[in-house]
Amino acid sequence: MKTLFAQSALTKVVVLVLLILFAGLPLARIAGLIDERGQSRQHAAQELAVRHAGPQVLAGPFLVIPYTERWVEEQLDDKGQPKAHVPRSKQRAHIVFPERADLRGKLDAQERYLGIFNILFYDLHGTLTGRFPAFDPASLPRTEKASTLEAQPPVLAMALSDLRGLQGAPVLRVAGEGGRWQPRVPGLPQDSWLAGGIHAPLPAGAQKAFDARQPLAFDVQMVVVGQERLSIVPLADENTAQLSSNWPHPSFGGEFLASRRSVTDKGFEAQWSVSSLVSSARTQLLQAAKPERGAPASAAMALDSFDISLIEPLNVYAMTERAVKYGLLFVGLVLMAAFMFELFARLRLHPVQYGLVGLSITLFFLLLLALSEKIAFSLAYASAAGASTLLLTVYFSAVLRGWKRGLGLGVYVGVLYAALYGLLSSEDNALLLGSLLLFGLLGLLMLGTRRVDWYALSSRTPPAAASA
């Protein structure tokens, strides 16, 4: 059996295939470790959201008109005859949306740390302007026949998914007069996230204008802190927004994408224009404001919105996970190259030596994960690839009995690492580049061995190797 193994190339190929498959075990464990570290980062983001603020959803401002509906309910006896008239009443609230709303602001990105994990936050310095239409109290909705309505003074309200993100009280002006914010929103179901917002009674001049059925202009200046994502709910007839940031890696999402955007190395600018004709945000908010259907805080994320997110261009866990997916291919390509040297140079390599080479390749991915948590991913990749290439060059120089052979195989390994980094850096073209790389390597192997007599090569007895 020993003689057969030493002389048969086919037997050696079978052993190499088994070694490559066995390399999948440590690679699978490394992939699981990457997933665990990624989940730890998510837990860190959640903990920072609890301590500071989470992703923000901004809805408003809108007018809330509390009112009481009164009616008389007729009670019947057993014979169906009226026996009493009982007065009934119910507190209700009507919401008036603005005619137009325009948000202009700047997102200042900042990084906050929890342990080794850094999470992106932003400070929104924004100004929200617009106008409410004239309102006729006679248009308040009735639910009972022959009822009377008693309207209370309206309040201007604004909802934010995480009020802890408000940095001080927003500066408010309505119809040219300053207003003062108060916690919670009256008239809305107290278990809904809308009721957990803020409200401001109309100033005296604004109240007179409202009673005179005149439009009301508003101006809100605010500073809001949030984590990674900002969502704006379009509640006005015409909604416009213009945001800029010093962060050069934005992601535009939600139901409405930016109509114009410009992204440079210094930051980005984006503009939105959304009409109520194409948005269901008003209907969704009115459903959430019904007393019998008070929406929890999580319902804020279900409203139609246009979103802007600050993202990390290189998520080290996603990049490392993508690299591990090429692990078996890497092990196979390196072992194949060593096998070609063994056959053509008439050397003899032991399966243990092949196994050590495969193990060194798998440890590259573990080293990459550990280093990328401490330093920039590009530097971590260069360090891990350089260490792995140097180790294999020294080792191959010994087992192949020649520093030129070891250096040649080391250069080959270095080129493979460079190709892998190119695949990771070009996510959009990764499939194309990977396919071209495999096709090129396979073509090179086929052309290089097209005149090889494999039967003669397999039966050839290699000379005894010196102890490596």
- pLDDT tens readout for residues 182-216: 999 888 877 777 888 899 999 999 999 999 999 99
- Give the residue with greater pLDDT, 428 vs 391: 391
| The pLDDT value given to residue 4 | 45
Q: What is the mean pLDDT of residues 32-51?
A: 83
Q: What is the DSSP string of 333-354?
A: HHHHHHHHHHHHTT----HHHH
SS3 content of the chain, % helix, strand, coil (to 5): 45, 30, 25
Q: How many angstroms separate the first and last alpha carbons of the chain? A: 22
Quote the tokens at residue 317: 């866990």
What are the DSSP E strand ranges found in 186-276?
A: 198-201, 216-227, 229-233, 238-245, 250-254, 260-264, 267-275
- Burial, 409: exposed, middle or buried (Cβ in 10 Å; 0-12, 13-18, 19+)? buried
From the list 255, 252, 287, 281, the residue with the least C-alpha distance to 268 is: 252
Amino acid letter, 312:
E
| The pLDDT value given to residue 452 | 65
| The pLDDT value given to residue 45 | 81
Pairing outcome for strands 155-160 and 198-201: antiparallel
Q: How far apart are CA 74 and CA 366, in angstroms?
A: 78
Secondary structure element (H or E) that encloses residue 352, with its range: helix 351-372
Q: How far apart are CA 430 and CA 259, in angstroms?
A: 29
**In 10 A of CB 393, how many CB atoms?**
19
Task: Let me know: does 66 contact 152? Beta carbons within 8 Å.
Answer: yes
Q: How far apart are CA 244 and CA 194, in angstroms?
A: 27
Quote the tokens at residue 66: 């509390």
| The pLDDT value given to residue 294 | 46
| The pLDDT value given to residue 409 | 86
Query: In whole numbers, what is the pLDDT of the chain averaged over residues?
Result: 84
Helix (H, G, I), strand (E, B) or coil at 466: coil
**Lowest-pLDDT range, 155-169, 407-421, 423-437?**
423-437
> What is the chain's Cα-based Rg?
34
Give this prediction's pTM. 0.76
| The pLDDT value given to residue 466 | 40
What are the residues whose beta carbons fall under 8 Å from the beta carbon of 300, sequence distance 6 or more? 57, 59, 159, 161, 193
Q: What is the mean pLDDT of residues 31-56?
A: 85
Q: What is the DSSP letter of 198?
A: E
Whether residue 100 has pLDDT greater than 90: yes
- For 294, list phi and psi in degrees, rounded to 5: -60, 125
